[in-house]
Amino acid sequence: MLTRFKEKIQSMLRAEAEIAYKIGLTPSHLSAAGAALGISSGIFYWITGFSASDPLRSRACLFLAVLFLLSSGFLDALDGVLARIRKEASAKGAFLDSLLDRYVDSAVYIGIIMGGLCDLLWGTLALIGSLLTSYVRARSEALKIPMESIGVFERAERIMLIAASSIISLFWLEALRWGILILAVATNLTVLQRVIFFFKSYSKYK
């Protein structure tokens, strides 16, 4: 759903992208930094669970996990704006960006699961649903059927829900567990919505 505001968000990030351009950063730099921050977020989610016996350390790690996750999402949005400013937007760059996003998504979910911050079943379903949401779109668009903004939970919504529930978990520990449960349902519902959309649209775009 938030994808519908993509152009507006990109225009808001133009000033930051121009600063990055002036200091010599490239889209690849931002993509690599975003991926590193995202994977670090997963590591800190994992450490959060193992630090449960020390509430202060656990909350500090959880705060860092959220900070790195949001920073990763910010850089992920910024690299596309910078690519357009530098006139370097390409299918190769989009492919690499999408690949790195999947690594980040996997790292975050695995960190949450391994840290015991959610139930194994719901965490696994949330991970599967998130990966399949992106896979279904990629396969559909490879067959010339556009699927941007189809479904209730795309990547931006997933990041925002994980971040929001993590912040609430600083005060109410069960919030992240409930956030992952919601994601397990919502991401797989999104996959179903996209599958239905694909079959309805196939004859039209064939």
101 is an active site residue: yes
Listed in sequence order, the residues at least 6 apart from 10 whose beta carbon sits closer than 8 Å to its beta carbon are: 77, 80, 81, 84
Listed in sequence order, the residues at least 6 apart from 37 whose beta carbon sits closer than 8 Å to its beta carbon are: 68, 69, 71, 72, 75
Question: Catalytic residue among 79, 97, 101, 105, which?
Answer: 101
Alpha carbon distances (Å) from 64 to 37, 48, 143, 173: 10, 10, 40, 16
Give 186's Cβ-side CA count (13 Å radius): 18
Residues catalogued as catalytic: 101
